Amino acid sequence: MTRKYFGTDGIRGTVGEKPITPDFVLRLGYAAGKVLATGKGKGKERPGVLIGKDTRVSGYMMESALEAGLSSAGVDVLLVGPMPTPAVAYLTRALRLSAGIVISASHNPHEDNGIKFFSGDGAKLPDAVERAIERELDKPLRCMSSSRLGKARRIDDAAGRYIEFCKTTFPSHLHLRGMRIVVDCANGASYHVAPPVFHELGADVETIGTEPDGFNINALVGATAPQALQAAVRRHKADLGIGLDGDGDRLVMVDADGRLYDGDQLLYVIARHRKEERRLSGGVVGTQMTNLALEHALGKLKVPFARANVGDRYVLEMLLKRRWQLGGENSGHIVCLDKHTTGDGIISALQVLCALSERRTTLAKAAAPVKLYPQVLVNVRVAQRERVLAASGVRRAVAAAHTALDGKGRVLLRLSGTEPVVRVMVEGRNGTAVKRWADSIASAVRNAS
């Protein structure tokens, strides 16, 4: 069964357009309640579902619609307000609830919003459960009788709980005293929790992107717009900069010279430290978009490496399948399964800081072995995506690029999980050649559409 609404990271779209409308979200809440909360929650008279959101103005509308849908299905609702996606995963597990729901479009602008789910164990839902929710959406909404309706209440100490949890993932014998750190929260869900974590561990913290107004989430700040963080690090003469995205599950970092480090480089720093400390369980999982330089650098450390499909949920699935603990994406989603059940920007930053502190080194030196290959990504909007990939002209262009790269680069064509787009990626050691082949393949895709 092909999924109608769920993409690679929940359901997402433009607010006011299907499926991000009040009536759909109401029905989604009801359908999710019926599927996720079948039977009783852990230790609860009724199933319980936690709802968190980022700082978009549309979150108010969607929160109310979800609450109504879940309640009508006989599910109790716990509301935590603006809270990072990984905080919802943690709180769902800590409170022994049936499921957690995040209202967020992650790194997208405020015009978009979305909904993603966590199981009671704090993990993202498998495809089969998402398909079950979609099947339930096709059925009529049948409200429970008054005596069986769910109740709603707010959890007032949610932020404090999550802050303390993040701090426990940093070794107790270490501290951040003497460090000046700039934290960029993207005017998103981490604005009130990320700065206290680093401050309470001893750092001198400067902040940007901590004044959300409902419309400025990810606007010229955050992990997807790191120029503001780079400028702030230089302005404050800081030792490091930490950049999160709107829902707090992505991480980029900036060193004292203003150099930017992406998820591949940060993942290497964590992996190398664990390898040296003999704490690396198995290998490392990346994705089809992971830079080849990371794979080569890990190979020199004799660390096994595997590629999953794009999306942190698929990284997690491969980690569980192989019984490994560390994986991530170049976009900054980093999963440390010995610390959390999902990717967490704050916790990932703490793992990098732990490596730098214990090895008494700088971010520049720790990440130096990963000399990123030039990588060009072109998004081509098409009507018939599957047909385009099978077109002879596209196959010839890809074959020509493979021949020219001669094993010293990669070519990847993949379908977007959320848009009518084919993503063309080419990487290799020669930046000029990489761009030329990416443009050539993208042109072939356009001609075939």
Spans of all domains in the chain: 11-156, 162-259, 261-367, 375-448
**Tens-binned pLDDT, residue by residue, of the chain (449 aa):** 467 888 878 999 999 999 999 999 999 999 999 997 664 444 447 899 999 999 999 999 999 999 999 999 999 999 999 999 999 999 999 999 999 999 999 999 999 999 999 999 998 887 788 889 999 999 999 999 999 999 999 999 999 999 999 999 999 999 999 999 999 999 999 999 999 999 999 999 999 999 999 999 999 999 999 999 999 999 999 999 999 999 999 999 999 999 999 999 999 999 999 999 999 999 999 999 999 999 999 999 999 999 999 888 899 999 999 999 999 999 999 999 999 999 999 999 999 999 999 999 999 999 999 999 999 999 998 887 678 888 999 999 999 999 999 888 999 998 876 678 899 999 999 999 999 999 999 999 998 87
Q: Is the fold of 162-259 the same as that of 261-367?
A: yes
For tokens 């109504």, the residue is: 68
Cα dihedral: 240, 246, 251, 256 (round 10): -20
pLDDT at 415: 83
Q: Where are the alpha helices (DSSP H) in 237-311?
A: 263-276, 292-300
User: What's the gap between Cα 48 and its chain centre?
Assistant: 24
DSSP letter, residue 393: H
Q: Is 65 exposed, middle or buried (0-12, 13-18, 19+ CB in 10 A)?
A: buried
At the second CATH level, the architecture of 375-448 is: 2-Layer Sandwich (3.30)
Peptide bond into 19 cis (omega under 30): yes
Q: Token pair 């084919």 is at which residue?
A: 422
**pLDDT, position 390:** 85
**Structure confidence at residue 347 (pLDDT):** 98
311, amino acid identity? G
Q: How many CA atoms lie within 13 A of 72 on its CB side?
A: 18
Could you list the active site residues?
A: 106
Domain 162-259 indexed as CATH 3.40.720.10: no
pLDDT at 106: 94
What fold characterizes domain 261-367? Alpha-D-Glucose-1,6-Bisphosphate; Chain A, domain 3 (3.40.120)
Q: How far apart are CA 250 and CA 272, in angstroms?
A: 20
Pick the CATH number of 11-156 from 3.40.640.10, 3.30.1780.10, 2.40.50.100, 3.40.120.10: 3.40.120.10
Tokens encoding 257: 């010279």
List CB contacts of 39: < 8 A, sequence separation 6 or more. Answer: 47
Contacts of 138 (CB under 8 A, 6+ apart): none
pLDDT score, position 37: 61
Structure tokens at 108: 């997208």
What is the C-alpha to C-alpha distance for residues 130 and 397, in angstroms, rounded to an integer? 36
Beta-bridge mates of residue 287: 308
